[in-house]
Structure 1
């Protein structure tokens, strides 16, 4: 039987951290054995490569200094000839020529020889690096998109990831938990993972969000004027004054940012609504002034709880510290809030909020909208959650081992403490969904979130408008074909720009107003659409001939298709 996680902080420190390190290390060593790579031979090859790199670097530096010396000698020759031409008859020009030309000739020979030596070393270095890549090729081929998910599930069996985000998972969130799947803004899915936590669906996603902000543009104008000034001797003289006038204007400017968040569906407390943001109170210690600040916050909560009036919903809990630090005072249902946040849940949530050594402390936003929970941990903004196989490719096994272990330890810690606020609520582990999300062909197809992530993996450049000078927000719409593939229309929305000049009236020291030019960019919307074709690989695996037919009958070379999380895709020719 798989145990629930009721003490997320202690269990990570005492069990999961070490277990994941061991699981990750064991998995890597299994890949090494499976690949058949000779580590000792790779070590020797890399050592030889480093020696060649060092020699090539030294030869490059030597060649550079010889060329500098040649330049100095040529400059000295020209100066000497100029001096002789100015001071002596022209036959004397033969003297500096006879002195310096042999030196320049000798330097040219040395430089050419050192350049040949440098080319030989660079060729040997490149060949040795290619040899190292060849040694590691069987190993590099073993990486796939699901390694991070498998490692996390092995460490915490209550977590399970899907091969990709399917229509079935999306329909479960819509039909069973009331989530629309629409984030309600102008954004594109960069990465998405779906799965189950304690039998209930979750999504880990990163989006590119766009909004129209503003930018301040600055301009300047130099002016001058003369004045008649009377001196101490009683005479007038003319003085010239200089001044730089400055002006600024604010204009609309498209802005972009990434957001990383977790969506979790659970039937517990189905009518409850609340939201909370990180509180600086969580960072306070037990000193006199810190206790005073906490007490002041608690008194405000008690006053709010005593206030009566129409629409009053807040009643302070007996654990005042939890109420002050969690600060979900906009909750609408006190009974369900207390069912969710039992004394044990309050205790574990406080541990998460106050700890910043094992975990990340109070850095997360948490909102509940009926049966949908959204957690946005600030620390995950910096975490690479893509897990692309190519990032683990290396020609040095020792480096690959270090990077692999560090990446997966960082990913696990970041994701674990991203979901830790959900793990801290025991009631969430008692309500488990039993929906059959793979009941038909439609359910097994990838959903539009996955399509946006695939489009972004291909890159904005494949879809953006030729005049676009900003990021592009990619949105998709799909239709299924008889061969099991999907044709996806990708629409890229961005902005082109036109340079403008505004003139701002600024009064100068000369007593006159001057028109100061301020250059700025006016942004206008541009859109462009292109098509992708994609096909999910079946559990048994589609043979290469079947997949090749799907793509080549649409004019795409199969070798140019990419595989991402059990989905093969390609951008169709325009």
Structure 2
């Protein structure tokens, strides 16, 4: 029987981390075996590449040193020639030279001749020889690089973005990932569990990875949102005027004089401006405690600080919580639990239902949550917000903002097998840690794993089709600039719509929403020190919405992987017919997360 993850922190530290590292290492070695990479040959080639790189670096240093030396000698030559020229001109104007000046001109002439001969006959040929040697080394270096890339070509073609979630699902009990965020999965979250926060027109999905934990749906994602804010624009105007001032001179006599006074006037105007921001999140649906609502944010008390001020602050905060718990006159049903540390650190004082909150946070769940919040050695500590809105749970882990869990497979492309092994293992183990601790706040609650959704989300073919979130992820993978209106000067929110398809192909309309900008100037009257009003110019930008629609084709490709994409799309009759129908080469399409996509047309801007 598959076990539940009831102690996520301890399980990760004592077992899962090591198991996953071993699984990742074994996966890489299988890829190497499948690609048929000769490690000894690659190691030898890389060694030669490194040797050549070292020789190129040393040769470049020697060449640069000799060039610098030649520049110094040319400077000396120029000085010697100048001395000779000045001496000769002096003799022509002033008569016969004295012995000292004549000797100086003679020595300068010999020096100039010697320097020229040395530079021309000795130093320059050596520099030329070094340059030719460098060109030969660089040519050999390029050849060896091409050889190494050729040795790794098959392996570099086997990496897939789906490897990371697939490896993680093999390690973590009861965790499953979807190949893409399907329409049925999104419909389940919206219709069964009540998700509505992330479907607005001012938010685009940059990344989405959905799945289930013991049958309950979740999605890890990144979104780009836009908000119109009131923005302050600042302007200045420098003014000056003549003024008369009285002063006392050195004789003690009071006098007057005219001086120039200067002042910088400042003005501000407030106008609407779009502000964009990225947000990482985990959305999880579960029917347990269906009426409960609460929120919490990271707490400063989770840090391991045993100082007197921290202890005093903690005690003071606990007393406030106790007083808040005893207050029966407010609208909050908050009743403090016996685990004071949990209440202090988790601090969900806005919970709407005490009974359901206790159903969720049993003593075991409280202990596990406290352990998770305080730990910074194994995990990331208290770095997440947690919102529960009826049957929808939203976790916002800050550590997902610092590193990538959606890196393209090209990050593993290397000519050095040893470097590829290290990068692959490091990335996969870091991916596992980041994703695991993004889900950990959910895993600390045992009852969440005991309630299983029974919705039949794949009740028809359309339910398996990629959802609008998956389409937005694909569109953003192509890049905002591919869809943006030509007049747009801001980022673009990409939204999609599509029609059902029975053959796994969808025509997707991608609408890019941005803003064009018009430069404006407003004048604000400001009182100056000269006793007059002045019109201070303030430059600002008027933002006007612009939209552009483009057509994109998305086709499901569960029968393809990165290793077989080129071969199958050129030999399989169905795929040949598909690409011929759209008059596009397979290499011009994007292939990610078992979805093939490409643009087919745009409306004029």
* TM-score above 0.5, yes or no: yes
Q: Is the 8 A contact 1:186 1:209 kept in 2?
A: yes
Aligned counterpart for 2:264 among listed residues 234, 245, 257? 245
Q: Give secondary structure in 1 for the equivalent of 2:159.
A: coil
2:587 corresponding residue in structure 1 = 559
RMSD: 3.2
- Between 1:257-266 and 1:508-517, the stretch displaced more is 508-517
Q: TM-score, normalised by structure 1?
A: 0.90
- How many Å separate the matches in 2 of 1:429 and 1:335? 19
Measured after TM superposition, the shift of residue 341 of structure 1 is: 0.9
Q: Give secondary structure in 2 for the equivalent of 1:261.
A: strand
2:101 corresponding residue in structure 1 = none
Aligned counterpart for 2:179 among listed residues 160, 163, 166? 163
Query: Where does 1:225-236 land on structure 2 (aligned, <5 Å)?
Result: 231-233=249-251
2:420 corresponding residue in structure 1 = 400
Measured after TM superposition, the shift of residue 257 of structure 1 is: 2.3
**C-alpha distance 518-108 of structure 1, shift in aligned 2 (>3 A):** farther
Q: Give secondary structure in 2 for the equivalent of 1:269.
A: coil
Q: Is the 8 A contact 2:201 2:495 kept in 1?
A: no
Q: Is the 8 A contact 1:556 1:573 kept in 2?
A: no
Measured after TM superposition, the shift of residue 313 of structure 1 is: 2.2
Query: Where does 1:324-403 land on structure 2 (aligned, <5 Å)?
Result: 324-403=344-423
Q: Give secondary structure in 2 for the equivalent of 1:209.
A: strand
1:57 corresponding residue in structure 2 = 57
**C-alpha distance 124-474 of structure 1, shift in aligned 2 (>3 A):** same
Q: Is the 8 A contact 2:174 2:213 kept in 1?
A: yes
**C-alpha distance 572-507 of structure 1, shift in aligned 2 (>3 A):** same
Measured after TM superposition, the shift of residue 290 of structure 1 is: 3.2
1:140 corresponding residue in structure 2 = 156
2:312 corresponding residue in structure 1 = 292
Q: Is the 8 A contact 1:153 1:161 kept in 2?
A: yes
- How many Å separate the matches in 2 of 1:330 and 1:181? 19
1:10 corresponding residue in structure 2 = 10
1:308 matched to 2:324: no
**C-alpha distance 113-493 of structure 1, shift in aligned 2 (>3 A):** farther
Residues 328-353 of structure 1: per-residue CA shift (max 9 Å, x gap)? 11111111111111111111111111
- Between 1:474-483 and 1:76-85, the stretch displaced more is 76-85
Q: Give secondary structure in 1 for the equivalent of 2:379.
A: coil
2:598 corresponding residue in structure 1 = 570
- Between 1:434-443 and 1:564-573, the stretch displaced more is 434-443
- How many Å separate the matches in 1 of 2:87 and 2:307? 85
- How many Å separate the matches in 2 of 1:99 and 1:222? 65
Measured after TM superposition, the shift of residue 548 of structure 1 is: 3.4
Q: TM-score, normalised by structure 2?
A: 0.86
**C-alpha distance 97-225 of structure 1, shift in aligned 2 (>3 A):** farther
**C-alpha distance 149-99 of structure 1, shift in aligned 2 (>3 A):** same
Q: Is the 8 A contact 2:483 2:548 kept in 1?
A: yes
Q: Give secondary structure in 2 for the equivalent of 1:332.
A: coil
Measured after TM superposition, the shift of residue 274 of structure 1 is: 1.0
Measured after TM superposition, the shift of residue 288 of structure 1 is: 4.6
1:440 matched to 2:456: no
Q: Is the 8 A contact 2:149 2:415 kept in 1?
A: yes
1:282 matched to 2:302: yes
Query: Where does 1:520-535 land on structure 2 (aligned, <5 Å)?
Result: 520-535=540-555
1:172 corresponding residue in structure 2 = 188
Q: Is the 8 A contact 1:485 1:536 kept in 2?
A: yes
- How many Å separate the matches in 1 of 2:130 and 2:240? 56
Q: Give secondary structure in 2 for the equivalent of 1:433.
A: coil
Measured after TM superposition, the shift of residue 398 of structure 1 is: 1.0
Q: Is the 8 A contact 1:220 1:518 kept in 2?
A: no
- How many Å separate the matches in 2 of 1:102 and 1:248? 69
Residues 56-103 of structure 1: per-residue CA shift (max 9 Å, x gap)? 223333333444445555555556656665664499999598566545
Q: Is the 8 A contact 2:161 2:593 kept in 1?
A: yes
Q: Is the 8 A contact 1:483 1:550 kept in 2?
A: no
Measured after TM superposition, the shift of residue 253 of structure 1 is: 4.2
**C-alpha distance 151-83 of structure 1, shift in aligned 2 (>3 A):** same
Aligned counterpart for 2:340 among listed residues 294, 299, 320? 320
Q: Is the 8 A contact 1:243 1:508 kept in 2?
A: no
1:33 matched to 2:33: yes
Q: Is the 8 A contact 1:219 1:519 kept in 2?
A: no
Residues 415-455 of structure 1: per-residue CA shift (max 9 Å, x gap)? 11111111111110110123332221101110010111111
Measured after TM superposition, the shift of residue 133 of structure 1 is: 0.8
- How many Å separate the matches in 2 of 1:112 and 1:14? 63
1:267 matched to 2:287: yes
Measured after TM superposition, the shift of residue 21 of structure 1 is: 1.2
Structure 2: gaps spanning 5 or more residues: 93-104
- Between 1:90-99 and 1:404-413, the stretch displaced more is 90-99
Q: Is the 8 A contact 2:235 2:536 kept in 1?
A: no
Q: Is the 8 A contact 2:462 2:502 kept in 1?
A: no
Residues 140-164 of structure 1: per-residue CA shift (max 9 Å, x gap)? 1221121111111111121110011
- How many Å separate the matches in 2 of 1:78 and 1:230? 61
Q: Is the 8 A contact 1:231 1:237 kept in 2?
A: no
**C-alpha distance 328-181 of structure 1, shift in aligned 2 (>3 A):** closer
Q: Is the 8 A contact 1:204 1:263 kept in 2?
A: yes
Q: Give secondary structure in 2 for the equivalent of 1:168.
A: helix
Q: Give secondary structure in 2 for the equivalent of 1:419.
A: helix
**C-alpha distance 215-381 of structure 1, shift in aligned 2 (>3 A):** farther
1:130 corresponding residue in structure 2 = 146
Q: Is the 8 A contact 1:555 1:573 kept in 2?
A: no
Measured after TM superposition, the shift of residue 269 of structure 1 is: 0.7
**C-alpha distance 496-83 of structure 1, shift in aligned 2 (>3 A):** farther
- How many Å separate the matches in 2 of 1:19 and 1:327? 34
- How many Å separate the matches in 1 of 2:141 and 2:451? 60
- How many Å separate the matches in 2 of 1:454 and 1:425? 33
- How many Å separate the matches in 2 of 1:227 and 1:546? 92
Measured after TM superposition, the shift of residue 384 of structure 1 is: 0.9
**C-alpha distance 29-246 of structure 1, shift in aligned 2 (>3 A):** farther
**C-alpha distance 477-185 of structure 1, shift in aligned 2 (>3 A):** closer
- How many Å separate the matches in 2 of 1:526 and 1:56? 52
